[in-house]
Chain A
Amino acid sequence: MGDNSLVLGHRVSEWCGVAPVLEEDIALANTALDLIGQTQLWLGLAAECEDKGRDADALAFRRDVWDFRNLLLVEQPNRDFGHTMMRQFLFDAWHSMVLAALKSSDNSEISAIAEKSLKEVTYHLERSSDTVIALGDGTEESHMRMQAGLDRLWPYVGEMFLTDEHDLINVASLRPAFDELTNDVLSTATLSIPTDNFTHKGGKTGARHTEHLGHMIATMQFLPRAYPDAKW
């Protein structure tokens, strides 16, 4: 959970200062901020459980690509604004369902982080759904770009629902609710869900990230690696 919110949080923050309009710039920066805040909570808890003297910063900035356990979807580059919002919608839909399930965890720290994050993510999902609908059912150009984004990203959806022995919840069981929500929003957006259900995998296990993650963390980790323990 911490790696997903960290990688997507960093990706979304890449829009800061260059979004199409000021309101979208602010919205994207705020979304990134929420995700990075959630990262501090998740990775802080992970570091505490690991008990090897590392903290959230050490986990974020001192691990290499193969140690990241994020979904392939979130490491995909931003490309255009439509593509970014499609990635956000697919992630928000999954994220909200996973957090709702983790909220019932027996571990009080996990349930508290999930409860806190879910409030923020519900808001993210509301915005990304509205934007996907507005652009999908928008102009010919915006429709074309949203469909292209969906076609490109759909092969990364399946990985979100692969359950492995490290999962605290059965993520596969969330798929029907995800399909119902995405069908609803994407059909309102006049977009067609690809029929091919081929799935890329390897991000969550760390076995095979896409080439994009290494480039992203090279930028993200540059400062703490070049200037260890820098403070400001």
Chain B
Amino acid sequence: MVMTKPSIDQVWKWLDAVPDPEIPVISLVDLGIIRGVAWLNDMLEVTVTPTYSGCPATRIINLDIETALNDHGIKKVTLKRQLSPAWTTDWLSEKGKAKLEDYGIAPPQTAGGPAQCPRCKSVQVEKISQFGSTPCKAQWRCTDCLEPFDYFKCI
């Protein structure tokens, strides 16, 4: 059977529909971890960079990429791990940052702390801990509405 190769743009759109397993409101493309998509003859190569080297979601992410592309009819998929340049939160898309905030996770700021409480928007916030529920987050608290919240660490 001869299959027409989907375009690279189309593949990016499909990947943009694959949610991050830990933070399902943003896609893997929003997260900035898909570094390249290319056809090598009839094999699709997807280049992925890990967020944190020990992040347990990495394995699930690889599986989700393969599953999504297989479901769209691409049977031969190979994943390439790329460490350098190391992942940075600068690669988070603007769409992704807005979705994080809506979901209750303060997006990363170069200043090193959240700009405001994602719930009540107060700027009166304080750090509880440098680490949080996943390697990519820290715990902060709003001193106005008193709610603790996750902050996406800036690295």
Contact = CB atoms under 8 A, between A and B. Distances in A.
Interface string B125-144: 00011111101000100000
Interface residues of A, number: 27
Contacts of A108: 84
Given A23-B129, A26-B132, A127-B130, A33 B83 contact: no
A26 B155 contact: no
Nearest to B49: A116
- The majority secondary structure among interface residues of chain B is loop
**Size bin of chain B's contact surface:** 20 to 34
Count chain A CB atoms within 10 A of each CB in B53, B130, B153 and give the residue with the most. Answer: B53
Interface in B41-80: 50, 52-56
Query: Per DSSP, are chain A's interface residues mostly helix, strand or loop, or mixed?
Result: helix
Nearest to B53: A37
B86 interface: yes
Contact of A33 (B56, B84, B128, B153): B56
A182 interface: no
Contact of B54 (A33, A111, A123): A33
Contacts of B86: 112, 115-116, 119
Given A26-B129, A26-B131, A33-B135, A115 B85 contact: yes
A126 B53 contact: no
Contacts of B87: 116
Interface of A: 23-24, 26-27, 30-31, 33-38, 40-41, 108, 111-113, 115-117, 119-120, 123, 126-127, 130
